[in-house]
């Protein structure tokens, strides 16, 4: 058992906790703030973030996706204590998933978009 080998700093060493237990509470605090930000944005839907878009996705959706990945990182790194595992294990889990999921998402979303265009511009009508 590697009991005493917890890495106790988060935010690239910006914040260092005294014990593993306080680190857990710290991460919970951070995740709660992120969730609160997400929910507030989701309920209020600021006009600026909806009208403007980047790479044909609304800014608000970019914020949601990025914040979700941030949350996923902290859950995996601190709750699933990947931070304390050897780099080989971290990479074999994370790189596999990042590669396969982004490939899958890319190919399906492009295809979905293509079908939308066909239905939108073509002679087919959904409402027969």
Residue selected from 15, 52, 68, 99 as contacting another protein according to rule CB under 8 A: 68
Residues 6+ apart with CB under 8 A from 92: none
Six token digits for residue 90: 């971290």
CA angle (32 as vertex; 22, 52 as ends), nearest 5? 140
Q: How far apart are CA 41 and CA 44, in angstroms?
A: 5
To the nearest whole angstrom, how small is the minimum distance from the Cβ of residue 9 to another protein? 17
- Which residues of this protein are in contact with another protein, per CB under 8 A? 1-3, 20-21, 24-25, 28, 31-32, 35, 38-39, 41-43, 45, 50, 61, 64-65, 67-68, 71-72, 75-76, 78-81, 85-86, 88-89, 92-93, 96-97, 100-101, 104-105, 108-109, 111-113, 115-116, 119-120, 125-128
């Amino acid at each position: 058992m590697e009991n005493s080998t917890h890495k106790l700093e988060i935010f690239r060493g910006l914040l260092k906790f005294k014990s593993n237990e306080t680190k857990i509470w710290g991460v919970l605090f951070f995740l709660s703030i992120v969730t609160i930000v997400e929910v507030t944005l989701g309920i209020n839907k600021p006009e600026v973030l909806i009208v403007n878009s980047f790479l044909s996705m609304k800014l608000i959706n970019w914020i949601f996706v990025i914040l979700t990945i941030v949350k996923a990182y902290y859950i995996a790194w601190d709750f699933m204590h990947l931070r304390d595992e050897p780099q080989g294990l971290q990479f074999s889990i994370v790189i596999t998933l990042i590669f396969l999921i982004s490939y899958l998402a890319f190919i399906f979303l492009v295809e979905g978009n293509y079908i939308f265009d066909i239905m939108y511009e073509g002679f087919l009508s959904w409402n027969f």
